[in-house]
Amino acid sequence: MTTGAGSPGPEPAHTVGARVTPDEPVVELGGTPAELPRILDRELSWLDFNSRVLSLAEDETLPALERARFLAIASRALDEFFQVRVGGLRQLAAGLEDASSDARGPRQEIHAIRAKVEALYARQSRVFLGGLVPELDAQAIRFSDWSSLGEVERAFLDRVFEERIFPVLTPLAVDPAHPFPYISSLSLNLMVVVVDRASLAERIARVKVPPLLSRFVVLPDGERFVPIEQVIAAHLQHLFEGMEVVAQHVFRLTRNADFQLDSDEGDDLVDAVRAVLQQRRRSPIVARLEVGDDMPPALVDLLARELEIGPDDVYTVSGPLDLGGLFDVCKLERPDLKFRPWVPITPPRIAAAAAGATPDIFRALREEQLLVHHPYESFEQSVEAFIERAAEDPQVLAIKQTLYRTSGPVSPIIRSLTRAAEAGKQVVALVELTARFDEENNINWAEVLEDAGVHVVYGTVGLKTHAKVSLVVREERGGIRRYCHIGTGNYNRDTARSYEDLGLLSSDAALGADVGELFNSLTGYSHPGRYRKLLVAPTSMRPAVLDLIRREGERGERGRIIIKVNNLVDPEVVEALYAASQRGTEIDLIVRSICCLRPGVPGLSERIRVRSLVGRYLEHSRILRFGRDPHDADYYISSADLMPRNLDRRVEAAVPIRSADLRARLDEILTINLSDDVLAWELRPDATWHRVPTRAGVDTQVRLQELALQRAEGRH
């Protein structure tokens, strides 16, 4: 398998299996719907996705530092899974929440999760110790143990310890006079065993590795990396003068981060979000304890007892903990060990508009709508340029923008909005404060915008604003004209280089009116009864999507559905797709991550096929096509996945694509996705994922790069 570089290589024989419980019997391909659950387990499906990401780290045909990056991605994603999903289940098990989303109950679910996570840990250790370490060593990038270092290297690390590490370390004793210390989430720690030389009494202490320090210490040659815990371990005597250090062992804790916002219309939302951040920092619930495989059982039991957790919450790991630290190694300037750089092209029509004496993106949009596809086409030269030009244009009266996750620490879009406000334009920014793990960043951006005179609002109480929309109101010769952007991804240039997303830039009057009304509903008390073109959650999107699925079902064998999303979880949507399949409609689903639909089951879903693409770029766009004839089908791009939270508890926007040229473009993307046999995996009726055999060698992401270049050169 390859992703964006090289030719297809041998396929590792990894099969991601589904858990089988007594109430979920093994189902052969000839099973009947009554013999199996219709809705697959959400949590286990996500772990299957993380397994597919991990397979990229195992792929020896990929550049070595890219394999390291995929290993880091899989490690950090597993951290978040435990913080949010397992943390939430632990809350349920502790009786802090009322109900579980899984019929088996939270404790049984945690047990099922453990079986898959243990397999992931084993694979992570194998690929790091047995694959990446020797491969990188052959490329002069070495992970060195303290024991292997010479006097010169140790002397260098002595200085690093004295100057940068020792001053920020704090040993904390564990004994009757010193209560067991609070251990912060995702921190790396040393459990140290010391003996008092005078009394010969054994003592235990904990030393936290400060999170601001890099995971690996780089030696002067820039090629060798030493785990920071080994550097600290080699100097523990400095922390315990008069004591003998007899042992030290590494451990890491993950705490629950799944806290609900406690706010109503009378509360200050910023204060409520800050309260959630404080709860997260001091969370009492432990979701996971990771220990090195050299930690004695007595110390593991001590930790578990003090943390009030059971054996199912303890994971023994071979090799270094927190392989997310490999992101630092991936920053090395070694282009020979990375994918060939891709420079996003400027969409030809924008390039033509910018080539004139006076760049005029608005004229280009008056002539025709524009579909932009990131990262193949430049986010900076399209979406950012649209907002930047609006900020500078004296004819622009107002700019309105939603911000969910944006670039940091310097966001060009934030900079454009502040300049526009300072120039006297009416600027409104809807900043979603509750975007998980971006809350503090978004509070800071909101304050920056307010200081510049931007009208900052936080959306609708009880609903997270996830829609990606912007509106520019411009005074022109014929009167007021609205220009808008509706996208599938965040207004973030950093992720736009690595996330695959779509956006529509348009001056369509009806669409602009819809976006204007959407902003009125978010900033005021407007409740539009019906939008002209947009599908908006939580009002019109769910019924519209279900109606479109049912319509294709009623067409039977003449029906056709293709859906590309990140996650398919919603039971009502799943059941509607089952019903359409049973009536003869052919259905293809391209689901990157969680899929709760079971495909290919006779009598239930035999006409449904599910695939997942995992590669260099994170597949993030949502495309929906309903209809067999591509010239007459309904096409949408959307910010929403097909999940209850998106359809019922978030503000989302889907926009119809009606231009023949743009529909053909979407159809081209979907066709390539469905033809892929390099990045693609398929979901089988027994709920296991398997690689699609490589025959034609179609790599979606490579092919879309080629098409972007052809468009730039006028050859497509």
Residue 16, pLDDT score = 33
Whether 98 shows a pLDDT value over 70: the answer reads: no
Give pLDDT, residue 96: 61
Q: Comparing 145-330 with 348-523, is the CATH topology the same?
A: no
Mean pLDDT of 481-493: 97
Confidence of residue 175 (pLDDT cuts 50, 70, 90): confident
177-186, 273-282, 369-378: segment of lowest average pLDDT: 273-282
Q: What is the DSSP string of 421-458?
A: HHTT-EEEEEE-TTSTT-HHHHHHHHHHHHHTT-EEE-
Is the CB of residue 375 less than 8 Å from the CB of residue 344? Answer: yes
Structure tokens at 563: 């859906």
Q: Is the peptide bond before 409 cis (omega within 30 degrees of 0)?
A: yes
pLDDT tens across 596-648, in order? 999 999 999 999 999 999 999 999 999 999 999 988 999 999 999 999 999 99
CB 420 within 8 A of CB 396: yes
- CB contact at 8 A, 494 and 412: no
Contact indicator for 87, 106 with CB cutoff of 8 Å: no
pLDDT in tens, 645-698: 999 999 999 999 999 999 999 999 999 999 999 999 999 999 999 999 999 999
What average pLDDT does the structure give for the chain?
A: 89
Grade residue 28 by pLDDT with cuts at 50, 70 and 90: very low
Enumerate the domain spans of the chain.
Answer: 39-138, 145-330, 348-523, 535-712
pLDDT of residue 10: 32
Question: In this prediction, what percent of the chain has a pLDDT beyond 70?
Answer: 91
User: Which tokens belong to 509?
Assistant: 């009057």
535-712 topology per CATH: Endonuclease; Chain A (3.30.870)
Mean pLDDT of 279-303: 89
User: Distance (Å, rounded) from C-alpha 108 to C-alpha 111?
Assistant: 5
Which of the four pLDDT bands, split at 50, 70 and 90, describes residue 262?
low
Q: How far apart are CA 315 and CA 286, in angstroms?
A: 13
* CATH topology classification for 39-138: Methane Monooxygenase Hydroxylase; Chain G, domain 1 (1.20.58)
pLDDT tens, 199-213? 888 999 999 998 889
Name which of 132, 142, 76 is nearest 323 in CA terms. 76
Phi and psi torsions of 358, nearest 5°: -120, 100
Answer yes or no: is pLDDT of 13 > 70.
no
Q: What is the pLDDT of residue 29?
A: 38
How confident is the model over 469-479, as a mean pLDDT? Answer: 95
Amino acid identity, position 579: A
Tokens of 656: 């119809």
Pairing of strands 455-457, 426-431: parallel
The better pLDDT of the pair 589, 461 is held by 589
Number of residues assigned to the chain: 716
Q: pLDDT of 219-259, one tens digit each?
A: 999 899 999 999 999 999 999 988 999 999 999 999 998 77
Report helix, strand or coil for 610: strand
Residue 356 has pLDDT above 70, yes or no: no
- Domain at 145-330, CATH homologous superfamily: Polyphosphate kinase middle domain (3.30.1840.10)
What is the C-alpha separation between 531 and 473, in angstroms, rounded?
A: 19
SS3 443: helix
Q: What's the distance, Cα to Cα, between the start and end of the chain in Å? A: 28
The stretch 60-67 carries a mean pLDDT of: 97
Q: Where are the beta strands (DSSP E) in 197-325?
A: 202-209, 216-218, 224-227, 243-255, 286-292, 314-317
Task: Assess whether pLDDT exceeds 50 at residue 26.
Answer: no
Residue 8 has pLDDT above 50, yes or no: no
Residue 416 CB contacts under 8 Å (≥ 6 apart), including other chains: 384, 387, 388, 390, 391
Which tokens sit at 206? 């904990």
pLDDT higher than 80, residue 157: yes
Report how far residue 374's alpha carbon sits from residue 356's, in angstroms, rounded to the nearest whole number: 25
pLDDT at 97 (0 to 100): 56
Least confident of 23-32, 41-50, 536-545: 23-32
Mean pLDDT of 580-584: 98
Rounded-to-integer distance, Cα 625 and Cα 635, Å: 5
Q: Mean pLDDT over residues 75-91, rounded?
A: 93
Ranges 4-8, 217-221, 559-563, 631-635: which has the least confidence:
4-8
pLDDT tens for each residue of 495-520 = 999 999 999 999 999 999 999 999 99
Residue 530 is predicted with a pLDDT of 87
pLDDT of 646 reads 97
User: CA distances (Å), 363 to each of 151, 483, 575, in order?
Assistant: 68, 11, 45
Q: Among all residues, which ones are annotated catalytic?
A: 466
pLDDT for position 103: 57
Give the Cα separation of 144 and 227 in Å (integer): 8
Mean of pLDDT values over 111-137: 96
> Rounded to whole angstroms, how far apart are CA atoms 576 and 571?
9
Q: Write the DSSP string, 499-561.
A: EEEEEEEE--HHHHHHHHHHHHHHHSS---S--SS-EEETTTHHHHHHHHHHHHHHTGGG-EE
Q: At residue 99, does pLDDT exceed 90? A: no
- pLDDT score of 459 more than 80: no
Query: What's the pLDDT at 703?
Result: 98
CATH number assigned to the domain with residue range 348-523, chosen from the 4 options 3.30.870.10, 3.40.710.10, 3.40.50.2300, 3.30.2130.30:
3.30.870.10
Structure-token pair, residue 506: 């348009």
Residues 6+ apart with CB under 8 A from 606: 581, 600
Q: What is the pTM of this model?
A: 0.91
In this prediction, residue 276 has a pLDDT band, given cuts at 50, 70 and 90, of low
Q: What is the pLDDT of residue 547?
A: 98
Q: How confident is the model at residue 466 (pLDDT cuts 50, 70, 90)?
A: very high
pLDDT-based confidence at 18, cuts 50/70/90? very low
Spatial neighbors of 235 by CB under 8 A, at least 6 apart, are 158, 161, 165, 166
Largest Cα–Cα distance in the chain? 92
**Residue 581 confidence (pLDDT):** 98
> Which of 551 and 90 is assigned the larger pLDDT?
551
